[in-house]
Amino acid sequence: MSNYEDDFFEAKRPWSLIKDKVLSCYIEPYINKVKQLGRQIVLIDGYAGPGVFEDGGEGSPITMCSAAEKFAKGRYTAYFFNNNKKHHEKLEAAIKRAGWSHSAYCILGNSLELIEEKSQVLKDQTTFLYLDPFGLKGCSFDQLKPFLTRDIKYSTEIVLTMCMPAVHRLAACHAVGKGREDMQQLKSNRQLLTMVFGGDYWQDIVCQENVDTKDKELQLLNAYLTKLKQYLPYAGYCPVREESDRRIKYFIVFVSRHPHAILLMNDCMYKAYFSSMHKADFAGTLFENLDWKKDMPLPEENTLESLKAIIKGLVSQYPGEDREAIWLKVVQERFMRYDHSRYLEALKQLSKENTIRYEVDPRTKNPNKHSKLFPAQ
């Protein structure tokens, strides 16, 4: 365990707040929803840490257990893995103090091996896998495979973080360009990337010349999501950075089998990212206390007008689809560009402008998620 990893748990880093906001926003409605399936819920945190930061901040195990106790007490089992004895003991004590030892188990050991073992005994349980490792070794594609390939009858969700600086460091494109790709350490590092992304397609993306680093990273994540979607069809990602003009530190990647999950995660990631960027960008300025959602301008690709154009095109392409079906298409095509409230506002304006016909639900005589959308005649 490096000093950096120990120091990490002294206090939350500013950019870590995005990750925390995403998990906190998602986990409660997720558990409240999946408990209706009537199956035992299994929560797995592969790199749990001590659970409580030195400054009192809560880590992912506490967030997950709090939600599970609130909505599915007695109907869940949580497994928290650590390979650091100090972190393991601190987390175990926190779980015991909270009275959760009946459902939450702290496990000391190599999480790479132990998570694989745990995946072997999963049957029909509803499963949520959370992987937030230091670096990239903790989320290889083979490690995910047993979860990705579970029977389609069973609910499976995966959230993981992907460290971008580590990708570039391990790829060492400049060294390869100078003909040093035969060095053993370099070969080993690049093989690790192939294991993480489930193929060597990353090489053609990361080592492109005359392409902006951010563009390479977005291309890589989109290619990675395409691979994940072969198993679980609903996927998205959220960038994490210190400020909106800083480089991306890592991505939070999400994959699920259920459309409701991606709609919920879209709104959670949208809110977490844009509210955090507003706070970071305008701290100490006159704009600090303005409402990030109502008062601050968004990038062109996130504006209401751009959303209206997208909706108009989708309604023309799929006339008669209901409101939520069109929203799902928006989210799948442009994940985290807009949230549901902005979508409803766009529909309201399009209807007033007589650009689309927004029919009421015949059962309730009101517009709702069952309302059909048609191009205006």
Q: Which DSSP string corresponds to 61-86?
A: HHHHHHHHHHHHTTSEEEEEEES-HH
Is it the case that residue 143 has pLDDT exceeding 60? yes
Is it the case that residue 9 has pLDDT exceeding 70? no
241: DSSP letter: -
103: DSSP letter: T
**Structure confidence by residue, pLDDT tens digits, 271-318:** 999 998 888 888 888 787 877 777 666 777 788 999 999 999 999 999
**What's the domain range around 359?**
285-375
- Regarding whether 174 and 118 lie in a shared domain, the answer is yes
Any idea what the CATH number is for the domain that residue 18 is in?
3.40.50.150
If one counts the domains in the chain, the total is 2
pTM value is 0.91
Contact 259, 249 (CB under 8 A): no
- Regarding whether 233 and 121 lie in a shared domain, the answer is yes
Residue pointed to by tokens 């800083």:
246
Determine which of 233-242, 247-256, 352-361 has the lowest per-residue pLDDT on average.
352-361
The strand pair at 356-358 and 373-375 is best described as: antiparallel
- Regarding whether 338 and 195 lie in a shared domain, the answer is no
- Regarding whether 198 and 327 lie in a shared domain, the answer is no
* Listed residues 240, 263, 280: the one ending a domain: 280
Q: What is the chain's mean pLDDT, rounded?
A: 89
- Regarding whether 270 and 123 lie in a shared domain, the answer is yes
- Regarding whether 291 and 270 lie in a shared domain, the answer is no
* Listed residues 246, 280, 314: the one ending a domain: 280
Confidence class of residue 259 from pLDDT cuts 50, 70 and 90? very high
- Regarding whether 290 and 276 lie in a shared domain, the answer is no
Contact 351, 358 (CB under 8 A): yes
Mean pLDDT of the 334-341 span: 95
Is it the case that residue 349 has pLDDT exceeding 90? yes
d(CA 135, CA 370): 44
**Structure confidence by residue, pLDDT tens digits, 170-204:** 999 887 766 666 678 888 999 999 999 999 999 99
- Regarding whether 322 and 254 lie in a shared domain, the answer is no
Confidence class of residue 149 from pLDDT cuts 50, 70 and 90? very high
Q: Which of 274, 284, 222 is nearest to 17 (CA)?
A: 274
Any idea what the CATH number is for the domain that residue 294 is in?
1.10.10.10
* Listed residues 280, 302, 321: the one ending a domain: 280
Q: What is the pLDDT of residue 15?
A: 62
Q: What is the pLDDT of residue 57?
A: 79
Contact 371, 323 (CB under 8 A): yes
Determine which of 5-9, 76-80, 207-211, 314-318 has the lowest per-residue pLDDT on average.
5-9
CB burial of residue 66 (10 Å; 0-12, 13-18, 19+): middle
**Structure confidence by residue, pLDDT tens digits, 12-51:** 566 678 999 999 999 999 999 999 999 999 999 999 999 8
- Regarding whether 258 and 294 lie in a shared domain, the answer is no
- Regarding whether 89 and 153 lie in a shared domain, the answer is yes
- Regarding whether 299 and 267 lie in a shared domain, the answer is no
- Regarding whether 229 and 101 lie in a shared domain, the answer is yes
